[in-house]
Each structure stands twice: as structure tokens, then as C-alpha cells.
Amino acid sequence: MEMERQGAGLDLEGVPKINGVWQLGGTGAFADLERDYLEVRDLEGRLPADDLVRDLPVTPAGHRLAAEWRVRAWTLSRLRAYLEGRPELAVILDVGCGNGWMSARLAEVPGRLVYGLDVNRPELEQGARVFGRCPRLAFLFADVTAGGIPSASVDVVLLAGAIQYFPDIGGLVPGLLRLLRPGGELHILDSPFYAGAEADRARGRSERYYHRLGCPAMAARYHHHRFEELAPFAPLCLHDPTAILSRVRRRLLHTSESPFPWFRIGT
């Protein structure tokens, strides 16, 4: 595998590989999350077929989620541009990668090795089917908090649309920072953060939504984090959707600029 031959990636020797996915394990505690998450995604129509996943974030004309994917495309474009300007950030761990569409697009950036990690086996296997021929991409079935990823082994940890599935930022972030080599960076993007009591109001909205959808258990697995939870880690905001120019562009110019913040935390 090219990733191992280049000598910069994770050592996966001896790790079993099933249906194209490396089985690092430690995922037993997430079986209920996988079940509820997949049920919700199915009810929402968010489990696309392989041929659609292959082209993401581009969607067919008239697709019901086209506007959402234009936002994700905007995020991807900004992230790729950032990485292209930082060639030293060579090894990327995409935590909560799902079907791996973003992992695959980032693996197209010259000089990058990308590992897509999730506790969701069906979507990982889809990613391996669709993108498995990419020599600079691998999919890992693993709990990132369980110690399967060695310390100081990657240059970037990416949480794109994923941090809301982790209950405790105060425990999560230090563990992710330990995975970074010197000069490495943790990036958190495509997820909502709240100020003060707005988190409680958002939690109530989510509970009502999941009850209406018929999957109330998911409400307890989707977490509403406050900005203050990140404060101890001195994050740098690379995109502030509340800035005046950002709001003008979205509301008056109808751009696809992300409504979510982008935070970078360095080592």
C-alpha cells in the first residue's frame, strides 16, 4: 500500500481488514449510536447510493439536499486551500468521516495521506467501495478515544460535522491533541456552537425533532456544545459566520458560505 511505502502514515501491519476497512476496534460502546444514527439518516433520506457518494459534494440537478451540499462544498474548498498552503501538514485523520467523501477529496491534495475514521461500519464500507482505489486514503473502524491511534502520529485531526456526537469536549480535545505531531493542528468545522441559554433552546428543538421523526433515543446522542467549552484550548476562529460581511453574503448575496464556525487548535 502506497501509504505504508511512503513511511509517513500509521503502522497498520497486523491489523485485520474487512470489506476494505481496517479494524482497529474499541467501538463496542458505540453500537447503539450506529443503530440510531443510521435509522435517522435513513428516515431523513441521507444514505445516498454509491454513485451519488462518488461525486459528492456535487449533487444531481434538483437534488433535495443540493443547498446543503453547496455549503459543504464551500467548506471543502476553503479547507483544501488552507492545506495546499501548508504542505507540512501531510497526514490527516478525519474523525467521524461517515462515507468518506471529504476524506477522499482531501486525499487529492498533493502530498497528503488521509485516514477516514468512524464507528459507523456500513458507511465506512461504502467509502471503501467507492474510494478504495485511492492510494493515499484508508478507512479505519475505530473509537478515536480508545487508544488505537498512536500519540504524535498525525499532522491534522479533522472534526467536520462530527463534534456534536461527542458528549464531553473537555475530555475529547486533549486526547485528540495528543495524536498530533509537533506543529500539528485540530480543526473543528461544520458543527453548531451556542452561546449561553441558546444551547438549551437548541436541545429542546432537537428533542422535538427526533420525537417527530420517530427516533427519540437519538436526542440523547446529539450534543449541543457551547463556545465556552472550547475556550480553555485557545481556539483560533478561521471562519466566523456571525461576522457582518459573512451574514451579508449569505442573506443578501445568497452565497453558500457556511453558517457554522471553523476553529483551529494548535499544539
What domain range is 103 assigned to?
2-6+15-266
Could you give the C-alpha distances from 7 to 15, 91, 136, 147, in angstroms and in order? 17, 11, 12, 21
Number of domains in the chain: 1
Closest among 30, 14, 31 to 22, alpha carbons compared: 14
H or E element: which one contains 202? Answer: helix 198-213
Asked whether the beta carbons of 66 and 59 are under 8 A apart, the reply is yes
At residue 4, the pLDDT reads 43
CATH number of the domain bearing residue 51? 3.40.50.150
Number of Cβ within 10 Å of residue 193's Cβ equals 21
pLDDT the model gives residue 69: 97
Distance CA 213, CA 33 (A): 16
pTM above 0.75, yes or no: yes
Residue 102 one-letter amino acid = M
Classify 151 in phi/psi space as left (phi over 0), alpha (psi -120 to 50) or beta: beta
- Mean pLDDT by runs of 10 across the 267 residues of the chain is 57 95 86 92 95 97 95 97 97 98 97 97 97 96 92 98 97 98 97 96 98 96 97 97 90 90 95
